[in-house]
Amino acid sequence: MNAIIVLTKSLLRQTVRNRQGLFWTLFFPLVLMFVFSFLGNSQSQVNLAIVAPSGPSAVVKALKRSPVFHIQRTNRHVALQEVQQGTMDAALFIPPVDPHHTTTLTLRYNNANAITAQQVVGSVEAFVAQADIALSGQPPLFQVSPQAMTHSHSSTYLDFLLPGILALMTMQNSLFGIGSGLTRWKEKGVLRRFQVTPVRPLQFLTATIINYVVVGLVSSGIIIGFATTILHATVLVPWVPLLIVLLLGMGCFLSIGFIVAGLSKSQEATIPIINLISFPMMFLSGVFFSVSSLPHILADIVQYFPLTYVANAMRGLMSGQLTAASAAFRNDIIGLLVWIVVTGAIASRTWRWE
Amino acid sequence: MEKGLRLENISKRYGTMTAVDSLTLTVPSGIVFGLLGPNGAGKTTTLEIIEGLRRPDEGHVWWNDMDVTRNPEHARSHFGMQLQTSAFFELLTVKETLELFHSLYRKRLSVGDLIERLDLTEKQNARVGGLSGGQQQRLALACALINDPEVVFLDEPSAGLDPQARRTLWDVILGLKSEGRTVVLTTHYMEEAEVLADRLAIIDHGHVLDEGTPRELIQRHMPAAVIELSRTVGVDASVDLPAVQRTENRDEMTILVSDHLENTLVGLVNWAQREGRELTGLTTRSATLEDVFLELTGRSLRE
B188 plus B107 within the same structural domain: yes
pLDDT band at residue B198, thresholds of 50, 70 and 90? very high
B126 plus B260 within the same structural domain: no
CB count, 10 Å around CB of B179?
A: 9
Point out which residues pair with B212 in neighbouring strands: B200
Among residues B27, B8, B13, B41, which one has the least CA distance to residue B296?
B41
pLDDT score at A311: 95
CB contact under 8 A, B87 and A193: yes
- Which chain A residues are closer than 8 Å to B76 by Cβ? 196, 198
Residue B302, in any domain of the structure: no
pLDDT score at A147: 62
Question: What is the 3-class SS of B261-279, one letter each residue?
Answer: HHHHHHHHHHHHHHHCCCC
CA B111 to chain A, closest CA, distance in angstroms equals: 15
Pick B8 or A46 by higher pLDDT.
Answer: B8
- Which chain A residues are closer than 8 Å to B73 by Cβ? 198
Contact A93, A106 (CB under 8 A): yes
Question: Any chain B CB within 8 A of the CB of A14?
Answer: yes
Q: Coil, strand or helix: which one is A50? A: strand
B172 plus B64 within the same structural domain: yes
Residues B21, B57: Cα–Cα separation, whole Å: 10
Contact A347, A263 (CB under 8 A): no
- The enclosing domain of B263 has a CATH number of 3.30.70
Mind listing the pLDDT tens digit for each residue in B126-158? Answer: 999 999 888 888 999 999 999 999 999 999 888
What is the tally of structural domains in chain B? 2
Q: Which residue of B has its CA nearest to A6?
A: B100
Average pLDDT of every residue of chain B: 87
DSSP B227-272: EEEEGGG---TTS--TTEEEEEEETTEEEEEES-HHHHHHHHHHHH
Q: Which residue of A has its CA nearest to B147?
A: A197
Residues B212, A137: Cα–Cα separation, whole Å: 118
Among the three residues B171, B193, B213, which one is the final residue of a domain in this structure? B213
pLDDT score at A329: 93
Measured CA distances, A128 to A60, A62, A96, A102 (Å): 11, 10, 16, 12
Identify the helix (H) or strand (E) that includes residue B185. Answer: strand B182-187
Q: Which of residues 167-206 of A touch B (CB under 8 A)?
A: 185, 188-190, 192-193, 195-199
Contact B222, B295 (CB under 8 A): yes
pLDDT score at B141: 92
Residues B293, A244: Cα–Cα separation, whole Å: 65
Among residues B51, B42, B2, B48, which one has the least CA distance to residue B23?
B42
B45 plus B67 within the same structural domain: yes
CB contact under 8 A, B88 and A3: no
Highest mean pLDDT among A100-109, A248-257, A282-291: A248-257
Q: Which domain holds residue B36?
A: 4-213
Q: What is the mean pLDDT of the segment spanning B242-252? A: 83
A-B Cβ pairs (cutoff 8 Å, strict): 56
B56 plus B176 within the same structural domain: yes
Among residues A27, A93, A31, which one has the least CA distance to residue A63?
A93
Residues B144, B148: Cα–Cα separation, whole Å: 9
Q: What is the mean pLDDT of the segment spanning A304-332? A: 92
Question: Any chain B CB within 8 A of the CB of A18?
Answer: yes
Contact B203, B293 (CB under 8 A): no
Checking if the pLDDT of B295 tops 50, the result is: yes
Residue B209, in any domain of the structure: yes
Q: Which of B5-9, B57-61, B225-229 has the lowest mean pLDDT?
A: B225-229
Q: Which residue of A has its CA nearest to B97?
A: A10
pLDDT score at A148: 55
B109 plus B12 within the same structural domain: yes
- The enclosing domain of B53 has a CATH number of 3.40.50.300
Residues A271, A215: Cα–Cα separation, whole Å: 20
Q: Which residue of B has its CA nearest to A200?
A: B73
CB contact under 8 A, B88 and A13: no
Q: Which residue of A has its CA nearest to B79?
A: A196
Q: Which of A167-176, B33-42, B175-184, B217-226 has the lowest mean pLDDT?
A: B217-226
Checking if the pLDDT of A132 tops 80, the result is: no
Q: Which residue of A has its CA nearest to B104?
A: A3
pLDDT score at B57: 92
CB contact under 8 A, B89 and A199: no
Q: Coil, strand or helix: which one is B105? A: coil
Checking if the pLDDT of B303 tops 50, the result is: no
Among residues A95, A89, A134, which one has the least CA distance to residue A114?
A89
Checking if the pLDDT of A333 tops 90, the result is: yes
Residue of B76, B92, B100 lying closest to A196 (CB–CB): B76
Measured CA distances, B287 to A256, B19, B206 (Å): 59, 30, 25
Q: What is the mean pLDDT of the segment spanning A314-319? A: 92
B43 plus B170 within the same structural domain: yes
Measured CA distances, A147 to A24, A55, A150, A153, B224 (Å): 41, 39, 9, 12, 106
CA B86 to chain A, closest CA, distance in angstroms equals: 5
Q: What is the mean pLDDT of the segment spanning B7-24? A: 89
pLDDT score at B1: 55
| A203 contact partners, CB below 8 Å, separation of at least 6 | A3, A4, A7
Q: Coil, strand or helix: which one is B117? A: helix
B93 plus B13 within the same structural domain: yes
Residue B198, in any domain of the structure: yes
Question: Any chain A CB within 8 A of the CB of B92?
Answer: yes
Question: Any chain B CB within 8 A of the CB of A6?
Answer: yes
Residues B54, B277: Cα–Cα separation, whole Å: 58
Q: Which of residues 197-226 of B touch A (CB under 8 A)?
A: none
CA B277 to chain A, closest CA, distance in angstroms equals: 55
Fold for the domain defined by A45-136: D-Maltodextrin-Binding Protein; domain 2 (3.40.190)
Pick A92 or B302 by higher pLDDT.
Answer: A92
B181 plus B40 within the same structural domain: yes
pLDDT band at residue A154, thresholds of 50, 70 and 90? low
CB count, 10 Å around CB of B17?
A: 10
% of residues, chain B, pLDDT over 90: 36
CB contact under 8 A, A10 and B96: yes
Q: What is the mean pLDDT of the segment spanning B39-64? A: 88
pLDDT score at A39: 66
Residues B116, B123: Cα–Cα separation, whole Å: 10
Q: Which of A133-142, A150-159, A326-335, B188-197 has the lowest mean pLDDT?
A: A150-159
Q: Residues A30, A36, A41, A47: is their CA dihedral positive or negative? A: positive
Residues B116, B63: Cα–Cα separation, whole Å: 30
CB count, 10 Å around CB of B191?
A: 15
Question: Any chain A CB within 8 A of the CB of B77?
Answer: yes
Checking if the pLDDT of A79 tops 90, the result is: no
CA B250 to chain A, closest CA, distance in angstroms equals: 36
CB contact under 8 A, A18 and B101: no
Angle at A260 between CA A259 and CA A261, to 5 degrees: 95
Among the three residues B178, B213, B248, which one is the final residue of a domain in this structure? B213
Residue B32, in any domain of the structure: yes
Checking if the pLDDT of B302 tops 60, the result is: no
Residue B282, in any domain of the structure: yes
Residues A22, A18: Cα–Cα separation, whole Å: 6
CB contact under 8 A, B85 and A13: no
B93 plus B238 within the same structural domain: no
Question: Any chain B CB within 8 A of the CB of A3?
Answer: yes
Among residues B257, B232, B262, which one has the least CA distance to residue B247?
B257
B235 plus B203 within the same structural domain: no
Residue of A3, A14, A189 lying closest to B83 (CB–CB): A189
- Which chain B residues are closer than 8 Å to A7 by Cβ? 100
pLDDT score at B300: 58
Pairing of strands B199-204, A106-109: unpaired
Identify the helix (H) or strand (E) that includes residue B98. Answer: helix B94-102
Highest mean pLDDT among A33-37, A187-191, A226-230, A304-308: A304-308
Residue B296, in any domain of the structure: no
Q: Which of residues 33-92 of A touch B (CB under 8 A)?
A: none
Residue B253, in any domain of the structure: yes
pLDDT band at residue A11, thresholds of 50, 70 and 90? very high
Pick A289 or A54 by higher pLDDT.
Answer: A289
B190 plus B229 within the same structural domain: no
Mind listing the pLDDT tens digit for each residue in A188-245? Answer: 888 888 888 888 888 998 999 999 999 999 999 999 999 999 888 888 889 999 999 9
| B193 contact partners, CB below 8 Å, separation of at least 6 | B34, B36, B187, B200, B214, B289
Checking if the pLDDT of A152 tops 50, the result is: no
CB contact under 8 A, A198 and B100: no
Question: Any chain B CB within 8 A of the CB of A350?
Answer: no
State the virtual CA torsion across B228, B233, B237, B241 in degrees, nearest 10: -70
pLDDT score at B299: 65
Domain limits, chain A: 2-39+153-350, 45-136
Q: Which of A10, A20, A202 is best to mutate for the B interface (most B CBs within 10 A)?
A: A10
Residues A9, A7: Cα–Cα separation, whole Å: 5
Mind listing the pLDDT tens digit for each residue in B173-196? Answer: 999 999 999 999 998 788 888 889
Q: Which of B93, B104, B146 is best to mutate for the A interface (most A CBs within 10 A)?
A: B104
> What ipTM, to 2 d.p.?
0.77
Q: Which residue of A has its CA nearest to B146?
A: A197
Angle at A79 between CA A78 and CA A84, to 5 degrees: 95
Q: Which of B50, B89, B148, B151 is best to mutate for the A interface (most A CBs within 10 A)?
A: B89
Average pLDDT of every residue of chain A: 86
- Which chain B residues are closer than 8 Å to A6 by Cβ? 100, 103-104
